[in-house]
């Protein structure tokens, strides 16, 4: 049974919910609960009279009260638990609160605090959200999806918990990430929470701490590997295609040994993308596009080093190569030669045994032929920065402090405006800090970080701002645009369009201050512009709805839900 149905009154055109629940059952459904904002008529019609104080309130005073409770909490983890508790009681109140204070609450509902919460999720979970898919229950996936009681699902955020931020394998405790991403989809792009679903594919964990923790809530066994793993995912996708055939599936924090396989395997079968690969790449490309505009030089003239060439690093590299190709006509092969990929062995070179996704970024051996380095070991980060004359340094390595002062000084010697992106999350994993970076480069760096950092003031009195290169700039608008334009698949060109839309929103005044991305306080407008760019590109690629730009904009604005209470009417009986 669906928990509600959205209907339109044929006479008044009023949009309302037809609700079968009554009394305490209605009050305890977080999607439908209005708290003391239930009007007298609904209290009477739904058997709520006397179940709450007589005073009638509204959403505004509920948000004010909730914010006051939030501000009382002493630690970020306590604030996280408070917000999730509100989400579990009253979703409309939660989304209105987060939307009103997004910049303040973003570090709580998502990185970095969500990482701390995932480390302890089995110990702080009070109410389950979303669904947990296992090898034992996956053959009932159609029933599981139908039992959530929602009329339609347009968006799923799916994790297997194997690569949670910089913490690695957290098993079922990684569910905090899809829950957080869903919250940001609603707050930033207005995707209605009733059309979203967080999903954890729990196939076990190899984390000894969790396996030995008696309070761990996930499956306490070693991870399924190989074909057994893929069979679970395949059966899950079959169920999605049958029950919610037009849902977008966002793969989230999947281990690198599976991430590219899943992305490739299901790209043509379901509307899907991987945020860690494609979202990270598009966001970094947007910031880099702004930076080279500030340097007044083509992107193809940059010498780019990427430290940490896993799924995020390769996603950034591919996004940059796509941008050079699309904007400057540089072939993809030529673009890749301008990118120096550095992973555990050092610089990736021809002849190395590497992962398939790294293959396109191997540098020819003749590149290092004249470098004064060992011929028996791959060049290190420091050697690459110095001898390849690197001008842009990007970190996705989760090695805190690896971009030290000597490396940054060498970088600054290669260019007037060095570009430094330390993108590892959370803050504790960042490759450098704004203070170290700006001191080493004498304030000349154009910097972005994966987590929020406060502005830094150097002894000369100048204050420098650091852009937060957060995927929030991309994924909400990508999801909104793809869903509304009824895209059949998501392409690299759609992500490139998203990058350009974001960069184009950075004003001259913001660039003067060193800002590489628009302010997060304007995220709803950013998401709209990204969604429109994505929908237009999908149309041009033959993947989306063929209507005018004006009609696409109209449809997108209509789809962007603002948190408010709909009127309820009792479900009619036959």
DSSP run (H or E) holding 539: helix 523-540
Q: Give the list of residues 6+ apart from residue 364 with CB closer than 8 angstroms, or none.
A: 337, 349, 350
> Can you tell me the distance from the alpha carbon of 450 to that of 381, in angstroms, rounded to the nearest whole number?
20
Annotated catalytic residue, options 34, 181, 386, 536: 181
> How many other CB atoms are there within 10 angstroms of residue 18's CB atom?
14
Question: Is-catalytic flag, 464?
Answer: no
Structure tokens at 373: 């380095």
Annotated catalytic residue, options 80, 110, 185, 464: 110
Cα torsion through 519, 525, 531, 533, rounded to 10:
-80
Q: Give the list of residues 6+ apart from residue 297 with CB closer than 8 angstroms, or none.
A: none
> Can you tell me the distance from the alpha carbon of 533 to that of 550, in angstroms, rounded to the nearest whole number?
12
Burial 431-457 (b: 16+ CB within 10 A, else e): bbbbebbbbbbeeebbbbbbbbbeebe
> Can you tell me the distance from the alpha carbon of 146 to that of 138, in angstroms, rounded to the nearest whole number?
13
Q: Give the list of residues 6+ apart from residue 474 with CB closer than 8 angstroms, or none.
A: 275, 279, 282, 283, 286, 495, 498, 499, 502, 530
Question: Is-catalytic flag, 565?
Answer: no
Structure tokens at 61: 């005073």
> Can you tell me the distance from the alpha carbon of 91 to that of 149, in angstroms, rounded to the nearest whole number?
16
> Can you tell me the distance from the alpha carbon of 326 to that of 339, in angstroms, rounded to the nearest whole number?
16
> Can you tell me the distance from the alpha carbon of 184 to that of 157, in angstroms, rounded to the nearest whole number?
11
Q: Give the list of residues 6+ apart from residue 248 with CB closer than 8 angstroms, or none.
A: 154, 155, 156, 270, 271, 272, 273, 479, 482, 483
Q: Give the list of residues 6+ apart from residue 559 with CB closer than 8 angstroms, or none.
A: 190, 191, 480, 483, 484
Give the catalytic positions in this structure. Answer: 110, 181
């Amino acid at each position: 049974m669906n928990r509600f149905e959205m209907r339109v009154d044929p006479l008044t055109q009023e949009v309302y919910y037809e609700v079968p629940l009554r009394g305490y059952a209605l009050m305890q459904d977080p999607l439908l609960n209005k708290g003391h904002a239930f009007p007298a008529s609904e209290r009477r019609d739904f058997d709520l009279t006397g179940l709450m104080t007589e005073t009638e309130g509204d959403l505004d005073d509920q948000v004010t009260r909730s914010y006051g409770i939030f501000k009382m909490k002493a630690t970020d983890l306590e604030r996280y638990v408070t917000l999730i508790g509100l989400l579990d009681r009253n979703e409309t109140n939660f989304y209105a609160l987060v939307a009103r204070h997004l910049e303040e609450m973003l570090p709580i509902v998502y990185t970095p605090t969500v990482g701390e919460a995932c480390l302890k999720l089995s110990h702080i979970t009070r109410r389950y959200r979303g669904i947990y898919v296992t090898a034992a229950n996956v053959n009932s996936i159609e029933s599981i999806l139908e039992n959530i009681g929602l009329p339609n699902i347009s968006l799923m955020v799916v994790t297997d918990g194997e690569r949670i931020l910089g913490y690695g394998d957290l098993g079922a405790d990684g569910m905090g990430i899809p829950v957080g991403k869903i919250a940001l989809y609603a707050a930033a792009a207005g995707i209605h929470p009733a059309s979203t679903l967080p999903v954890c594919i729990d196939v076990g964990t190899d984390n000894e701490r969790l396996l030995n923790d008696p309070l761990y809530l996930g499956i306490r066994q070693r991870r399924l590997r190989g074909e057994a793993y893929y069979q679970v995912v395949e059966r899950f996708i079959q169920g999605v295609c049958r029950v919610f055939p037009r849902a977008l599936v966002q793969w989230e924090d999947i281990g690198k040994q599976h991430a590219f396989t899943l992305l490739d395997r299901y790209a043509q079968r379901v509307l899907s993308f991987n945020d860690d690969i494609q979202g990270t790449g598009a966001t970094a490309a947007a910031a880099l596009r702004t930076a080279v505009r500030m340097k007044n030089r083509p992107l193809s003239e940059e010498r780019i080093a990427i430290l940490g060439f896993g799924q995020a690093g390769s996603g950034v590299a591919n996004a940059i190569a796509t941008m050079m190709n699309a904007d400057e006509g540089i072939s993809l092969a030529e673009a890749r030669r301008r990118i120096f990929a550095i992973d555990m062995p050092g610089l990736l070179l021809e002849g190395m045994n590497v992962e398939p996704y790294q293959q396109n970024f191997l540098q020819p051996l003749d590149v290092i032929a004249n470098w004064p380095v060992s011929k028996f070991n791959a060049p290190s980060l420091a050697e690459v920065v110095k001898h390849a004359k690197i001008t842009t340094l990007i970190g996705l390595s989760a090695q805190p402090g690896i971009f030290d002062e000597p490396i940054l000084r060498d970088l600054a010697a290669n260019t007037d405006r060095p570009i430094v992106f330390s993108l590892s999350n959370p803050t504790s994993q960042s490759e450098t800090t704004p203070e170290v970076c700006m001191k080493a480069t004498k304030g000349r760096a154009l910097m972005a970080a994966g987590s929020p950092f406060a502005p830094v003031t150097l002894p000369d009195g100048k204050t420098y701002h650091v852009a937060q290169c957060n995927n929030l700039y991309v994924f909400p608008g990508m999801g909104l645009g793809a869903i509304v334009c009824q895209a059949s698949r998501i392409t690299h060109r759609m992500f490139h369009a998203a990058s350009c839309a974001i960069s184009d929103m950075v004003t001259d005044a913001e660039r003067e201050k060193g800002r590489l991305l628009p302010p997060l306080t304007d995220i709803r407008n950013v998401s709209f512009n990204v969604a429109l760019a994505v929908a237009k590109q999908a149309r041009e690629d033959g993947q989306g709805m063929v209507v005018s730009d004006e009609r696409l904009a109209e449809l997108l604005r209509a789809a962007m839900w603002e948190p408010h209470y709909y009127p309820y009417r009792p479900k009619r009986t036959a």
